[in-house]
Amino acid sequence: MLTDTARQPKPGKAHRASERWRQELVDAVRSPTELIRRLELPEELVAPAERAARSFPLRAPKPYLARIRPGDPHDPLLRQVLPMDAELKTHPGYSADPLAEQGERSGSGVLQKYAGRSLLIATGGCAIHCRYCFRRCFPYNREAGWRTALDRLEAEGAPEEVVLSGGDPLLLDDQALDACLRRLANIEAVRRVRIHTRLPVVIPSRVTAALARHLGQTRLQTVIVVHANHPREIDPEVGSALARLRTVCSAVLNQSVLLRGVNDDPATLATLSERLFEVDVLPYYLHLLDPGAGAAHFDVDSQTGQAIWAELARSLPGYLVPRLAREEPGAAAKTVITPDAP
């Protein structure tokens, strides 16, 4: 006799694909000890990693870890996710709120930082915990959620562009994201939606057929801004996911952070730009590090950053050179830096 379970039809291919990214999110490595042993790293890294992870937990998806060289404690991808004792040191000028965003928050899930754009905190979660994150101390639990944020935009009026941020807005499932896009599209003033996400890079299976369909069906011009810092982050599966996004979006852009020990040399950044362009993604911003607590060991000073950028500009065509920029609290826009500027 067949059991109830046996009577159930097997999930179709589309269903299995739509659920894969969720399982990879659940299976992300959260234990520093597991991370270090999985990657065959020296055991002496365990104790400092466990200490640092108490203040900012580790989260690293396995598709991302598969791109890290086993046995190499200096791997540039590993450096982005491995907790270190350096995070526990305090440094002048580094704070829990480096961009003064918490003063901008209303509790409604909307940040109004720049004219003509509203930033909507879609979710407080991320698929990966980048050790240099400037929002690692942001009080997400005090924000009301994306539905309440949309209530505010509908009631008070919205600008032409709404930026979905977080956390990572693609942690919303396809149905929730579709509902969010539909409500935005019903606000007459809104013309563009910009989605800032690291998920297509760290868990490329997140770019499902349903996600692509929802992004392609909205009346809004849709811009995806992904976040890759090193060319080895763009493996073939990531490349396919990014190319898929490009077929349904008005633009797919990349922003990077200039990080010591990760990408602080022109050759690495040039290779990243070329790899991005191969999958129809344009380099957009190269950010100087936001001075968030625990991130000082990643800092590359402005003068060095300008020299790296100048060499990058000499070696690449202009459309492959990201703008070097820093974000300053209270400024009307990001500050774009050139070698001729202070």
CATH code of the domain covering residue 273: 3.20.20.70
- Residue 186 placed within a domain: yes
- Residue 171 placed within a domain: yes
DSSP character at residue 220: S
pLDDT of residue 342: 44
Residues 97 and 83: their CA atoms lie apart, in Å, by: 20
Q: Of 259, 269, 271, nearest to 301 (Cα)? A: 259
- Residue 164 placed within a domain: yes
- Residue 132 placed within a domain: yes
Residues 49 and 121: their CA atoms lie apart, in Å, by: 29
Which CA distances in Å does 241 have to 95, 245, 317?
Answer: 35, 6, 25
pTM greater than 0.75:
yes
- Residue 158 placed within a domain: yes
Neighbours of 167 (CB within 10 A): 21
Domain count, the chain: 1
Residues 60 and 109: their CA atoms lie apart, in Å, by: 26
- Residue 20 placed within a domain: no
Query: Is the bond leading into 167 cis (omega within 30 degrees of zero)?
Result: yes
- Residue 13 placed within a domain: no
- The residue segments making up the domain with residue 205 are 110-336
The ranges of the chain with pLDDT < 70 are 1-15, 17, 102-107, 142-144, 340-342
Which helix or strand (DSSP H or E) is residue 154 part of? helix 146-156
- Residue 279 placed within a domain: yes
20 near 205, Cβ under 8 Å?
yes
Residues 274 and 254: their CA atoms lie apart, in Å, by: 12
